Amino acid sequence: MALNNTYDARPVQQETAVGAGVQILLLALLGTAIGMGPAGWLTGLAFAIATWAVLSRALHRSRLRSFGAANRVTLGRATLVGGVTALVADSFHGSPPVSLFVGLTAVALVLDGVDGKVARRTGTATPLGARFDMEVDAFLILVLSVYVSTAMGPWVLLIGGMRYVFVAAARVWPWLTAPLPPSTARKTVAALQGVLLLLAGAALLPHTVNVGVVLLALALLVWSFGRDVLWLCRTSRATAVPAGRQAQEQRERRELVAG
């Protein structure tokens, strides 16, 4: 009897559609609660559509047959990030409640530690899930840095943009794409970025103290990225030398045979 190897993408694609629907529902609730303006609505809808499109394509390419509990947690977190994004966009033309901004962001940050644990406990960890989690984290940091920069200046955008600059640089220097060894320090610094930016964005402390908090976040991030780039550079050079020697030996062998 022939086995049916046909891949049915509908189950996982339905979950991304539900996620987009929940995102729109959250925007509707925010709009009703605070009277969100066009900037917030358009930005939130753009985020929902982009998330649905990119995630649907990634799921189709990975051919996952089950979305998984961990990805559902990450999708829920992405929904909260979409709400935060809409509030930040709305803040340029209005004054959304800081408590609402802090609440959504805090829950999103707390859930950041949940999806990984769920994936490990259920044995459903996948490269797609890890990438999905990382992209949601990176975008939340970017949005928070935009929000804080309105009070402290554009230099804060270095925090949110550093990861995207690294990705762009990897297209020029492919050795930056090599896998990094696990690092508790890297994970700690990444987690602190959201906490410190949220603390500064909540404006609970004096402005000078908030500036110091954001400077600390930036310094930690520069140190973390700098350490990783240095490790990748050294590893690339170390592997390039044996490869060069091997190529030289092959050329010498060919010359001997030819002679």
pLDDT per position as a tens digit, 23-42: 999 999 999 998 899 999 99
Rounded Cα distance between 38 and 94, Å, is: 10
Task: Determine what percent of the chain is predicted with pLDDT higher than 70.
Answer: 89
3-state class (DSSP) for residue 164: helix
pTM across the whole model: 0.87
**What is the pLDDT, as a whole number, of residue 143?**
97
pLDDT per position as a tens digit, 226-249: 999 999 999 988 876 554 455 555
Higher pLDDT, 138 or 246: 138
Task: Determine what percent of the chain is predicted with pLDDT higher than 90.
Answer: 63
Residue with tokens 């992405």, as numbered in its chain: 78
Higher pLDDT, 135 or 115: 135
pLDDT band at 2 (very low <50, low <70, confident <90, very high): very low
Residue with tokens 């044995």, as numbered in its chain: 123
Give yes or no for residue 216 having a pLDDT over 70: yes
Whether 164 and 225 have beta carbons less than 8 Å apart is answered as no
Of the listed ranges 98-107, 122-131, 151-160, the one predicted with least confidence: 122-131
